Amino acid sequence: MSINGLLNVSAGELCLKNVLQTGQSFRWLLDEATGIYSTTLKISDTLGYSIITLRQDVDFGQVFYEVLNAKVDTETIENHLKNYFRLDVDLQNLHKNHWLANDEKFKMLDHKGIRILGQEPWETLVSFICSTNNNIGRISKMCHALSENFGEYIDEYKGTKYYTFPSSEDIATKATEIQLRGLGFGYRAKYIIETAKKFVEDKKKYGLSDDAQFLNEVVAKKGYLEAREFLMGYCGVGPKVADCVCLMGLHMDEVVPVDVHVGRIAKRDYNIQAPKKFLQELRGQFDHLPITKKKINPELDYIRLKFTEIWGEYAGWAQGLLFFRETDKSDASAAKKRKTTSSPAASKKPKLDTNELVSAISVKAE
């Protein structure tokens, strides 16, 4: 059974293109001919994943959805989508009364319907482990490879087979480091395998079996600093990856993940430079958090603190807007450079497979 519906969204509050293709979520497929996005989402904790498609009316903002093999009712689907897109947050109000009121640089910025997603936290954790020194195209390829090889088959839609995202048990029991390396994960293969195995053991300690439940009910309730410390206990998880999980998977809206792009924005546009004395004091504040003290870069953490001070409780959302602008500029600059350096001879060369193309947007993980 399929369920079709309409998600009423005010114009400007959500732009699918600026949210689903910019480095937050990595398993959405876009049919450019129809403008339809598709993926599998865990709409119900008890009934599992379903195939879902989305199409947006660009003039009015409304989002048309279809859920294939629907195991839930319309109300459950719409509640899930509202939570996924965090529609409880008024983006226009944030821009006008929070960011613009405290940061005059937002006078020149349109929020462009850019929202922070409320994603399934286990998938968020694994996806951002994959993001280490990587780009969006390759991260997406890895996430799809995990689903196709270790997730459960759901159904076929318009010639494409769809799968669940594998649970920690799926990866721990079905996958090996050698297999993942064969699928192109490189050194990240070890990180994912070790994280999945430790995650399974950690859930057992709390008497839990569901990945999302463990992260939402145990880790998130620790508070930000303790949650970051806990997450960095997993193999391959540094401050940037942990912060992305806190922001996009655990609804910690004040968290500002700092990567090379955000670091550049901080120094270039805000002249943020930490005094050496403060950096020493900052490191000393983590004496009770040994993993944090070992892995943290005080200069980057200072940037996180300053941006949180400027932008307030939704600082992570403000960072998302500036990150989009920065990477969009980088993408445009790279495209212009490719165009100006191309030659007639080069244009005659056969095209590379799209799976091999490297995205101009780099998602660095510190």
Torsion angle in degrees (nearest 10) through CA of 190, 192, 194, 196: -160
Q: Is-catalytic flag, 222?
A: no
Q: Which residues pair with 65 in a beta bridge?
A: 5, 54
Q: Distance of CA 144 to CAs 22, 163, 176, 298, 335, Å?
A: 16, 9, 17, 35, 26
What is the maximum alpha-carbon separation in the chain? 64
Instruction: Give the up-direction half-sphere exposure of residue 339: CA atoms within 13 A in the CB hemisphere.
Output: 6
CB atoms within 10 A of CB 342: 10
Instruction: Give the DSSP H or E segment for 237.
Output: none
Token couple for 102? 């405290």
Catalytic residue among 96, 240, 306, 336: 240
Sheet with 48-56: list strands edge to edge.
3-7, 63-68, 48-56, 36-44, 29-31
What gap in Å lies between CA 329 and CA 325, rounded to an integer? Answer: 6
Token pair of 163 as six digits: 């799968």
**For residue 217, what are its two tokens?**
């009910």
Q: Which amino acid is at 290?
A: P
Burial of 235 (0-12, 13-18, 19+ CB in 10 A): middle
CB atoms within 10 A of CB 188: 24
Cα 147 versus chain centre, distance: 17
Report the catalytic residues: 240
